[in-house]
A and B are shown apart, each in its own frame.
Chain A
Amino acid sequence: MTIVLGQNYLGLNTDNVSINGNQNVGLYTLQGNSFFPFKNRIINGEFNVNQRNNGLTVNNVVGRTFGPDRWGLGGSTAGAFSVRIANDDLPGAHSLYVIYVNAATSNDIITYNMPVTRTFPYCIEIKSLSSLSIGTSHSYDFFQNIEGRHIMDMDFGNLGIGNSYGQTRYMLLSFFMKPSLSGFYTVRFEAPSPSTFRYRVNVYGYANQWVRYSIPVPIPTSETWSINQSTGLRVNWSLGASSSVSGGTPGLWESTSNVKLSGNIDLVSTLNATMKLTGIQLEYIGNLPSPTPTYLVPSDFQTRSWQTEYELCLRYYQKSYLYGTNAWTSTTEGMYIQSNNSGETTVQTYNHIRWPGGPMRGPPTVTLYGLNSSTAGRGYIWNGSVGGLGDEAAFATAISGTAAMFYISPVTLGNHFMAGFNWVADAEPSS
């Protein structure tokens, strides 16, 4: 047994140690990196922040929509699957399923009991809503777009450090998964659209069993990658794809339209089939020692304070409503209110707001809500002498990553009125 201090880890090499009778497994356990406050490049990997859909089940739409913070649902037809936060079935003792470092087309499961070092408060339950016959070139995914600024040190595409000493550098995706159907699923890494540069891996799901997965992925040395506020890398769990966009080689970066590996499970094609995920972590490994170990065992899921995780999410989504209160709720709690004492009776009111959760990734899409209307695009007007006057059409302009201007369109307001706006601001990056 040897201990190696690596670029971003402290490695415990148990090569030649017998585990469950298997000799020379080359198990390489990552112990370190927890000192790095952003070790896990996935945000909200334990689904502990849910500003958008508190307590709600979310169905996919055509294109994309979002469930818990940072997690997207993508699909070619609406209503193929849903997601909900669950806390009634969480991983305890579990097995570890690993992909070989240098032979990603192969994989193996190490069936010794992993020590349970922590629990998870929530998981995401993805559920098929029908026995969908997937249309030509259609696909369905659960995904997270990782901002380029959050992976810029990994040097995708060899812009800077490259592969020092000629060695491949690695990142490691780990997660807990419990599907209802046994079989192979596709996990996919890809450059942002319109690039089709992709890396796909088979992971074997065991029906109704929590397994922790460990997937080493070589840092690609070609293609153009973002290191700014746009999407740098997207991580996807394929929930189904037509045969016309399925195929290709697992464990290889390549330009391909195939988003799923052939023969893998189409979750959306089995009514009520489920997949549960939690503890999702993407950590940067860098170079590995020579000889290259056979397996990589991920370090523990990084515990960040809830406040820290919440603040990371605020870069992509903020709202006036209190945490736990969904948009459309008729409430003045958190409402942004401005008074106007000009004495004018037919005017507009302009309200410059700075995002209270701090600067966002970029200029967000802003939706305004009043108090009474079931229609978005409203603000609420009060008058000092007669009370509430009701919802009126309202707009947001001059939107930036730090501020925006809200205004009410011309209407008879009465003297000395107040205008109130409930709002949500969405700055999730594009795919």
Chain B
Amino acid sequence: MYKIILDPIEGRNGKIGSILRLADMANIPLDPLNADYQRYLKWLEGYEPDGITGYIKVSDGNEPIPADPFPPLPENP
């Protein structure tokens, strides 16, 4: 399962900062060069890894947990 994490600066505009993989609390960048992001995209389509090169379709698709409400930025003292 994955959870959307908003960008701490621009998240108020809905910008996603990273994808949190809840199994190991790893923060995954939204970048096509990242292997974990590629697996996340396949997970959205309902695929799970199988071996080192393959995927197997296990569901019609998945949805990540939505982001928490945008946190407040620190105010000036």
Query: Is the pairing of A and B real?
Result: yes
Interface residue ranges, A against B (CB under 8 Å):
62-64, 72, 74-76, 137-141, 143, 190, 193-194, 229-230, 234, 236, 259, 342-344, 347-350, 361-368, 375-378, 395-400, 405, 407, 409-410, 426-431
A63/B50 in contact, CB under 8 A: yes
A193 to B52, CA, bound (A): 9
What total of A-B pairs shows CB separation below 8 Å? 135
Q: Are A138 and B71 in contact (CB under 8 A)?
A: no
Are the CB atoms of B33 and A365 closer together than 8 Å?
no
Cα of A400 to Cα of B72 in the assembled complex, Å: 24
A399-B27 in contact given A74-B52, A344-B77, A431-B53 (Cβ < 8 Å): yes
B28 and A365 contacting across the interface, CB-CB below 8 Å: yes
B66 smallest CB distance to A (angstroms): 15
Q: B24's contact among A62, A190, A376, A405, by CB below 8 Å, is which?
A: A376
Residues of chain B lying within 8 A (CB to CB) of residue A62: 48-50
Interface CB pairs A-B, < 8 A, 15:
A62-B50, A74-B53, A76-B50, A137-B54, A236-B52, A347-B74, A350-B8, A367-B27, A397-B6, A397-B17, A397-B27, A410-B72, A429-B33, A430-B34, A431-B35
The distance in angstroms between the C-alpha atoms of A393 and B40, with both chains bound, is 22
B52, A431: Cβ atoms under 8 Å?
Answer: yes
State whether A398 and B50 are in contact (beta carbons under 8 Å apart), knowing that A348-B8, A409-B71, A428-B35 are contacts in the complex.
no
Task: Count B-side interface residues using an 8 Å CB cutoff.
Answer: 36
Considering only residues 34-69 of chain B, those with a C-beta below 8 Å from chain A are 34-36, 38-39, 48-54
Contact of B71 among A74, A193, A366, A410 (CB under 8 A): A410
CA distance A284 to B62 in the complex (A): 44
* Residue from A259, A347, A365 with most neighbouring chain B CB atoms (10 Å): A365
- Residues in B neighbouring A75, C-beta threshold 8 A: 51-52
Are B34 and A366 in contact (CB-based, < 8 A)? no
CB of A251 to closest CB in B, whole Å: 21
A396 touches B27 (CB 8 A): yes
* Nearest 8 A/B pairs, CB to CB: A397-B17, A377-B25, A74-B52, A63-B49, A362-B33, A430-B35, A363-B29, A399-B29
Minimal Cβ-Cβ distance residue in B for A347: B74
Cβ–Cβ contact A344 & B26, under 8 A = no
Cα of A430 to Cα of B31 in the assembled complex, Å: 12
Closest B residue to A75 using CB positions: B51
Partner of A76, one of B26, B35, B51: B51
Among residues of A, the one whose C-beta sits closest to the C-beta of B49 is: A63
Contact B25–A364 (Cβ < 8 Å): no
B54 touching A193, Cβ below 8 Å:
yes
Query: Which residue of chain A has the shortest Cβ distance to B28 in the bound complex?
Result: A365
Chain A residues with CB under 8 Å of B49's CB are: 62-64
Given contacts A348-B71, A362-B31, A368-B25, 7 further A-B contacts (CB under 8 A): A137-B50, A350-B8, A376-B24, A395-B17, A397-B27, A409-B71, A410-B72
